[in-house]
Amino acid sequence: MQRQSDLPCKDRPAPIGRLRVKGYIMEYSNENIRSIVEAQRKFFRSGATLDVEWRIRQLKRLKTQMQLHEKEIIDALAADLGRSEAEAYFCDVGTVILEINETIQGIRRWARPELHFSGMTCFPSLLTRVYHKPYGTALIISPFNFPFTLTFGVLAASIAGGNTAVIKTSSKTPRCTEVMMKMVSEIFPDEYITVIGGGHDVADMCLDQRFDKIFYTGSPAVAKHVMAKAAENLTPVALELGGETGNWCIVRKDADLKDAARKIAFFKLCNSGQICININQVAVAEEVADEFLEELAAAFRKQIGDDALTNDEYPHLITKSAYFKCADEADEYRDRIVFGGKGDPETLRYQPTVIYPVGTDEEIVKHELFSPLLPVVPFKDEKVDDILNVIADREHGLALYLFTKDISWANRVMETQQFGGGCINEVCLHMMVKGAPFNGTGHSGMGAYHGVWGFREFTHPCTVLRGYTKFNLPLREHPYKGKGNEYKLKALKLFER
């Protein structure tokens, strides 16, 4: 397949030999992955990626591919995840296009060197520049739940920063990987960007190589392994994780219960709950718990019908292992299931399932579920601080959602709790805001991306001061004592105060 490049053929690294199956799915070894990385290093050193206009052209090519291959992307998401066309476009096609658009619009401004006044202690230098330099060759490890958004959204930031990239996709979404391989190979040479499939063994082969930047999206447990491998080469790492104990949603007694239920139901249905920022458990004021549960059940029925298992718009769990993990956990709480609770192992669909009541110390609210199970924890509204203390005592979540009419209280909570990002009287939309970062903290991640934040994540600031050969003051030079030198300390104290 012919591929385009802005470099003439004579300037491109030699092609890399691979074993191809069905045209795109490949087998790998340490040797050929090493050759990919070495070729990308050579390409980066050529300087081709440093030109901002060149980067913009690559971003436009990526956007065009998203548009040209829209049907293939949607079909692949249906095959791997059971996604409907509308959900696939909203979550994995349109989102990437919006991210690329924002990056194209802003990159010239973001990449411009910053000018800083050097200060009197640096006289006669007056101005210092801060350059935003690419790291070099990046490794992007993406997850299964939003294969295109969490691959090409990150890739857009890497391209904007001026890096080359090796992308390791999830083995759980083979059709999506095949489409991504095809899309990338049509427009980018391997020595610039390449997509690699395979399982954990292939991921480890990638992590055995020396990269200049690693961006991993996935679980905290695997993130620890990624960081340990990165530490061997002191490679900077960005992590986007779901959090060890999941994300909380709090519904106060003054909340608009119908509105809260509608939004919570939508979010729990999306991708069958397999979303890193999804609601893991809902804490509901016990004064309104019964009414909230009725509204929640009504919202589920309105959005997905009486039986989600027979609705072809409802996504399925990613693997049999994920399905039976969900089903087994639901069975442990069978006597407290107030909505749903049925599944189909053939289709891997499991109904949205509400479990009530659940205590804050029960196992189901102590780990990330990544499924359509929704434990509901009752609390006395006047004791809401107790719920906040429980949340604060556990590992930081990637998201926090509050439903209340008391906006002053909600603002105080958002300012004082530790979490990645969140919403008041809304769900998930904070990650769609232009110019705002998407990030976590602690067990929910480190680093940030989207828009300018992604550009910053894939570049490092480099400060460069220009000196002069004339008018240099000897304040910093020895000797500091003796006749004629007493003024130095006085001058330094004047300038450095």
pLDDT 10s digits, 206-237: 999 999 999 999 999 999 999 999 999 999 99
What does the pLDDT read at residue 26? 63
**Per-residue model confidence (pLDDT) at position 11:** 38
Query: Phi and psi of 196, rounded to 5°?
Result: -120, 130
Residue 19: pLDDT above 70? no
423 is catalytic: no
**Which pLDDT band, with edges at 50, 70 and 90, does 8 fall under?**
very low
Report how far residue 452's alpha carbon sits from residue 331's, in angstroms, rounded to the nearest whole number.
Answer: 45
pLDDT at position 496, please?
Answer: 77
Homologous superfamily assigned to 9-243+450-460: Aldehyde Dehydrogenase; Chain A, domain 1 (3.40.605.10)
Percentage of residues of the chain with pLDDT beyond 90 = 86
Share above pLDDT 70 across residues of the chain, in percent, rounded to a whole number: 95
The backbone region for 332, taken as left when phi is positive above 0, alpha when psi lies in -120 to 50, beta otherwise, is alpha
CATH number of 247-394+397-437: 3.40.309.10
Above 50 in pLDDT, residue 21? Answer: no
Alpha carbon 144 to chain centroid, angstroms: 12
* 69-105: pLDDT as tens digits: 999 999 999 999 999 999 999 999 999 999 999 999 9
Q: Of 432, 417, 37, 368, which is closest to residue 223 (Cα–Cα)? A: 368
Q: Which residue has the tokens 């992007």?
A: 140
| Segments making up each domain of the chain, as ranges | 9-243+450-460, 247-394+397-437
User: What integer is the mean pLDDT of 110-123?
Assistant: 91
The catalytically annotated residue of 240, 244, 329, 395 is: 240
Instruction: State whether residue 89 is helix, strand or coil.
Output: helix
Q: State how far Cα 158 lies from the chain centre.
A: 13
Buried b (16+ CB within 10 A) or exposed e, 340-358: bbebbeeebbbbbbbbbeb
Average predicted confidence (pLDDT) for the chain = 93
Task: With a cut of 70, say whether residue 13 has pLDDT above it.
Answer: no
Report, as an integer, the average pLDDT of 176-183: 97
Q: Is 467 a residue whose pLDDT tops 70?
A: yes
Report pLDDT for 83. Answer: 95
Q: Is 240 a catalytic residue?
A: yes
| 180 has pLDDT over 80 | yes
Q: What is the pLDDT of residues 346-376, one digit of tens each?
A: 999 999 999 999 999 999 999 999 999 999 9
Q: Which of 176, 206, 270, 276 is catalytic?
A: 276
Q: Residue 6's pLDDT is what?
A: 44
CB count within 10 Å of CB 309 equals 17
